[in-house]
Structure formats: structure tokens, C-alpha cells
Amino acid sequence: MKKIWLFLILAFPCPVFAQDSVMDPERFYDYEKGPPPCEAEVMEGTPEYTHFSLSYPCSVKTDYPDNAVYLDFYEPKGQEKYPVIIFMSHIAGGIPEVEGEFCRSLASSGIGVMLVQTAYQKDYSFGRKWLAENLKQNGEDAIVQLFRQIVIEARRGIDWLETRPRVDREKIGAMGISLGGIAVPVLAGVDDRVRSMVILLGGGGMGEIIWNGFATRLFKQRLEEEGIGSAAELDEKVRMIDPLTFADRIKGKPILMINANFDTSIPRANTLKLWSALGKPKLIWIPTGHFVSFFEMGYVKTKTFQFFYAEFIDREKSKDIGLAYYPDVPIQSFLIQSYGMLPSRVAFDAQGYSGGGHRGGKGGIIAKNLFGTNCFGGSEAFGRASDDGRYKMEGFGGDLIFGSRLTENTHGFLKYSYETVKVHDVAEWAPEDFKRHTGRTGVSTLTFAWERNTLDDIMYPIDGSYYRGSFGVSSKALGGGYNFLKAVGEGRWYISTPYPKVTFVFRGKAGWMGEYGDSTDVPFFERFTLGGDDTVRGYKSRSLGPRDENNLPLWGNAMVLGNIETRFPIYKWFNGALFYDVGGNWEHLNRVKIPKDLQNSVGLGVRFRAKWFVARLDYGYPLNQNGVKREGRFHFGAGVPF
């Protein structure tokens, strides 16, 4: 776990300084070619791959005490020939949960991986202190060799790979994260053996990155002491390590870039500079910052694998891998309610979600005691967008609500909603019912609902119950484009012990929908979804239920959900949670098989409870095998899940 946080805190590019700005870049990274003298030691063996470890003296002299290079080679089993990826790690070295997971996944799927680390990266806790001291004592001369060392030793790693008889020399790629993402274009620019590359959290314009980056303030201060006064002045001095210097040499090669939207170490402008210089290859943005991109590495790993599989093994088959799924984001859902903050006759609520390539939100105001009666009314506005690789969709609409308080804790209401929906950019390989709904249409719905609420607290209930039932009619007669019915019922129960204050929460929910009249199906974007931070937490957002021929979700017309959660105090504002989730999602009622088709997960979580705010972090682990590797997943949100 310590290494994970080193990645989150320290994974920023290391500045290095070229002394001879007129030197030919190719000569700058020249070396004596040939495989390094070393023996490969077997570290791990699985049915899919063998993990070797290699170490040898570095060919570049540096002032670092351990002048060695460390390589980890993951060789796939079974194939007569296999492609290989040179993996250049971030500055804090290869972390088992990050670089190691990339290596294991690629090797298990028939792609060899060579992870390259210098001693400086391997022992970064010491290396970082050494770097700060070396900056003060030796200036540029020693540090320039560190970056040069990384690139040259990656080239020597390729030399060693060429001695392996099963390596396909025509299928060598490269990838890197952060510092490695900056080094990969440089490596490909000086070594034609690299045929394709994935650049993760990389960018161009090293002078600006060092000068303006949040994480490189220490180096900027040192540069100012040496008399450098601007990013433009620094740009010329670091030309030899700038990917922009080598962009023309690799333009046209297959390239995938994946960068973070809110990165302050590799700013968006610098990512776009490199992207433009490389001829505008495919660029994917993940909704995180540089340090917390760790939480998106599962998605990044998947897209990286898809890219290399398409380039080196089978482009058509790569489409069948369940990879067109977009990532969950750090804040997956939130709920804000104003009860107690605004006058008693007015209530405000806002909520949103994001995950699995889907995002949306709504907000509205409800006025109570209309006309001095038990009636209430109000309106909401809402919007949503989806992009999961098979299609894109945007929707925007609003609703009107009118109801009455039936008893002190019970009320009923009518809600009319209208949403304009546009489905476009549907992929050729997408399911037919996705293609059938291409274009712009409307969904017009009248819903009858009943609620009973005896909860003691709207934000963090520990006692009481909540029930809700609704029946909706979507109709062409109401001005929409579809005819379908939807019924949903839910119950929640909260029971707390007096001491210690432990709360047991139970939730049950079920739903059904079906078409009528001249409609042939319920549109795919209206179906029930399960999986994610507030349903079955051991699974990816919206991933449970029927699947298409590419093993991607189709969602369902019938669903059941059950949750059991135990919440308990930890310290002051922090509470813990243990939970069990179970759910199922089916195409039609006649396909329902209980308990055979139910998906189960267990997990634990932490809740931070302030006066007007609740934040949560959950970790869920799936219990069903489903023919794939079981992996736990984190979920973040604002508000309790239920």
C-alpha cells in the first residue's frame, strides 16, 4: 500500500537538462549496441506466463550510488511467436498494483512485456532525497544522465529481447506512465524498432511542464537560482528530453494517448501540444487529476490492451473484447437535499451520477402547503449523456410535480416529464436495437407515485423506514415517441442498537417495464441498470444484466435488488460499514431465474459525516465467478448509498 501512495504523491516528471542544445538528438541517445551481460532469474510462473527478473550495470555513468538497471520480463506461454511491449514506469518505479497489473494482464493475453527501471526509480524513497541534494551540489551535469539513462537502457532491453527466439521483432511496442509517458516518444524517436506506442499521462513542452507544474516547484526554484527566468528560456535547455523534439520522427506510427482532464503536473495545454505534434492520434481523457489517476488504471489498462491487441494480434477480434466501456469516475454519485436549510415551505434537491460512460443529474424545487392546503408542487430539470463506444446519447428535459400529503408521513403525487433524446454515432458492430433508436425523439411520461417516510434524518438515517411505489406510462399519445409501462417498488428499514451505536440497514427493490401498442421494445436508454456504487458494489457501474455478442451490457426490463449494510462509529465524524449486495437484471420477466442468475458482492466502506455533508468510500468484491477474473472495485460518492 505504501508504494501506491508513492505513486499518487510522487509520480511527476523528473526534470533533466541537456548541456549541448545543438547536438543531434539521435547521437545524444547513442550507445554501444548489443544485449547486456546478465542472467534471467525466474520469479513467478503461471499457466499463462513466466516472470523473469534481470539486473546489470548501467552503460551510462551517473553519480547515483547504485548504477544498475532492473528489468522485469513477462513472457507469455503457448504462442510460437509473440509481440512485446517495452514498459517505461513512472518516476517512483514499478508498483505491483499499477505497472505490475499491466504486465500480468498483457502477458496473460499473449503479449510479452519488458518493464524497465533504473536504480533511481527502484528505490525512489532514497532517490528523491539524493536528487534534491544533487541539485544543490552538482547542478545539471549529473541529472541530465538520469533521463538519458532511462531511454538508453530501454534500447538495451530491446537488444536483449531480440535474443529471445520467440519474440516477433516486427511487433515491438512501447508504453509509459508519467515520466515514462514522456520518455516513450523519445525512445520511439531514436529507435525505429518501436512500431507503436501508448502514452499515459504524457505531454510536450518540457520547459512549460517544469516551470508551471504544481509538482515541480522545487525544480523551478532551483532553476531561478541558476538565473533561468522563464519557461521559454528553459525550453531550449531541455530540448533533448522534450518529446516535441522527436515528434516528426514518429508521426504516422500507431499511437494512443490517455491523459487526465484535471492534471496539474502535465497540464492539458501540454498534452494537446504533443497530440498536435504527433499528428493528432487517438486521445482519451479520463476525469481525474495526475495523482489520483491510480483509481482509473483499471480502465486505462483495458484500453491499452485493446490498442496493442488490435495492432499486433487481431484488429477485428479486439472489438469483441469487452473494452468499449468507459470508466467509473472518483465521485460516482451525489445527493444534496436542503431540508433544514431553507424555509420550511420550500425544499431543494440536486443529485447526479457518473460511471460506465454515463453521466447525468437533476435539480429542482418543491413548494409545500400550496394555497394553505396539504398540497405541494414544483418542477425539476434534468440532463444525461452516454458514450460507451457503441453509441452516443444526449438527453435533456424537465418535469412538473403536483401532489398531496395524505397523512403525516405519507404522500402521493403525479409527475409529468418530457425528455428530448438524441442517439448518434452508433457503431457498425452495435446491437440492432441500438441502431433502431438512432436519431432524435422524445420520451413523454406520466407517473403515479406513493411514498411513506418515517426516517429520523434525511442525510444519515439511523432509525425508521421508507417505502415507495410508482407506476409510469410513457405514451405517444402524450407527445413522445414510445409506448411503454414502468413499475417500481422499494422498501428500506433502519434499525439501531443503543450502545454501541450500530445501525442495520435493509433494502429491497424490484422493477418491471414493458412495451405496448405499436412499440416493439423499450428503448435501450430507458432500461434498468444494476452494478455500481449504490446497487451491487462488487461490479462495474451499470454492468449487470443481459449482454450483447461483444459481451457488453444491454440492460434489462426486469430487475431485483437487495442490500444489507451494517454501519458503526469509528472515530468522531468517521463511520464504518460492512455490506452484502445481491441483484439480478433480465431482458424479460419470463427470463428471470432466481437464485441462479443473481449476482452477489460483499465489501466494506467508510463514511465521513459532517453537519450538512456526507461522503463515502466503499470497496466491493464480487462473489460470482462469471467466467472472468474477479476483481474488487472502489466506489466514491457524496451522501449515503441508500
| Interval 103-141: pLDDT, tens | 888 898 899 999 998 777 666 565 566 666 665 555 455
Sign of CA dihedral 178, 180, 184, 187: positive
For residue 32, what pLDDT is reported?
87
Sequence-distant contacts of 410-414: CB under 8 A, at least 24 apart: 410/450, 410/451, 410/452, 410/453, 411/376, 411/450, 411/451, 412/448, 412/449, 412/450, 412/451, 413/376, 413/449, 414/446, 414/447, 414/448, 414/449
Residue 439 neighbours by CB distance under 10 Å: 11
**Span(s) in the chain for CATH 3.40.50.1820:** 2-311
* pLDDT band (50, 70, 90) for residue 550: confident
Q: Which residue has the cell 541537456?
A: 18
* pLDDT band (50, 70, 90) for residue 151: very high
Query: What percent of the chain is modeled with pLDDT above 90?
Result: 41
For residue 133, what pLDDT is reported?
65
Residue 2 has pLDDT above 80, yes or no: no
Residue 44 has pLDDT above 90, yes or no: no
Residue 301, SS3? Answer: helix
Neighbouring residues of 344: CB distance < 8 A, sequence distance ≥ 6? 368
Most trustworthy range by pLDDT among 124-128, 437-441, 548-552: 437-441
Residue 623 has pLDDT above 80, yes or no: yes
Whether 505 and 564 have beta carbons less than 8 Å apart is answered as yes
For residue 14, what pLDDT is reported?
37
Opening angle at CA 124, ends 120 and 127, nearest 5: 60
Neighbouring residues of 217: CB distance < 8 A, sequence distance ≥ 6? none
Q: Which residue has the cell 422499494?
A: 490
Cβ-in-10-Å burial (0-12, 13-18, 19+) of 514 comes to middle
For residue 305, what pLDDT is reported?
86
Distance, CA of 266 to CA of 261 (rounded, Å) = 10
* pLDDT band (50, 70, 90) for residue 350: confident
* pLDDT band (50, 70, 90) for residue 327: very low
For residue 458, what pLDDT is reported?
80
C-alpha 16, offset from chain centre:
30
Cβ-in-10-Å burial (0-12, 13-18, 19+) of 246 comes to buried
Q: Please give the residue that has the higher pLDDT: either 548 or 96.
A: 548
Global pTM value: 0.58
Residues of the chain by 3-state class (helix, strand, coil), percent to 5: 25, 40, 35
* pLDDT band (50, 70, 90) for residue 332: low
Measured N-to-C along each axis, helices 268-277 and 243-250 cross at an angle, to the nearest 10 degrees, of 30
Q: Please give the residue that has the higher pLDDT: either 398 or 235.
A: 398
Q: Please give the residue that has the higher pLDDT: either 250 or 543.
A: 250
**Is omega for the bond preceding 595 within 30 degrees of 0, making it cis?**
yes
With CA atoms as reference, report the closest residue to 521 among 472, 586, 588, 467. 588
For residue 175, what pLDDT is reported?
95
- Quickly count helices (H) and strands (E) in the chain: 15, 24
For residue 401, what pLDDT is reported?
92
**Span(s) in the chain for CATH 2.40.160.50:** 333-638
* pLDDT band (50, 70, 90) for residue 296: confident
Region 7-21: mean pLDDT is 36
* pLDDT band (50, 70, 90) for residue 576: very high
Distance, CA of 474 to CA of 488 (rounded, Å) = 14
* pLDDT band (50, 70, 90) for residue 172: very high
Residue 11 has pLDDT above 70, yes or no: no
Pairing label, strands 599-609, 255-260: unpaired
CATH value of 2-311 in 3.20.20.140, 3.40.190.10, 3.40.50.1820, 3.90.650.10? 3.40.50.1820
Most trustworthy range by pLDDT among 144-158, 449-463, 473-487: 473-487
* pLDDT band (50, 70, 90) for residue 3: very low
Distance, CA of 576 to CA of 568 (rounded, Å) = 5
Region 206-219: mean pLDDT is 68
Neighbouring residues of 497: CB distance < 8 A, sequence distance ≥ 6? 503
Region 502-526: mean pLDDT is 93
For residue 147, what pLDDT is reported?
81
* pLDDT band (50, 70, 90) for residue 213: low
For residue 16, what pLDDT is reported?
40
b (16+ CB within 10 A) / e for 619-631: bbbbebeeeeeee
CA torsion 506→622→548→105, rounded to 10°?
A: 160
Report residue 25 as a C-alpha cell.
538528438
With CA atoms as reference, report the closest residue to 147 among 271, 17, 247. 17
For residue 480, what pLDDT is reported?
93
For residue 130, what pLDDT is reported?
64
Residue 587 has pLDDT above 80, yes or no: yes
For residue 501, what pLDDT is reported?
85
Q: Please give the residue that has the higher pLDDT: either 148 or 353.
A: 148
Q: Please give the residue that has the higher pLDDT: either 314 or 298.
A: 314
Distance, CA of 342 to CA of 337 (rounded, Å) = 10
Region 303-312: mean pLDDT is 88
Q: Is domain 333-638 annotated with CATH 3.40.50.300?
A: no
Q: Please give the residue that has the higher pLDDT: either 315 or 96.
A: 315
Distance, CA of 113 to CA of 333 (rounded, Å) = 36
Q: Please give the residue that has the higher pLDDT: either 579 or 429.
A: 579
Residue 185 has pLDDT above 90, yes or no: yes
The mean of the pLDDT values for the chain is: 83
Overall size of the chain counted in residues: 642
Distance, CA of 354 to CA of 333 (rounded, Å) = 6
For residue 329, what pLDDT is reported?
44
* pLDDT band (50, 70, 90) for residue 216: low
**Structure confidence by residue, pLDDT tens digits, 50-94:** 999 988 888 777 666 777 888 999 999 988 899 999 999 877 666
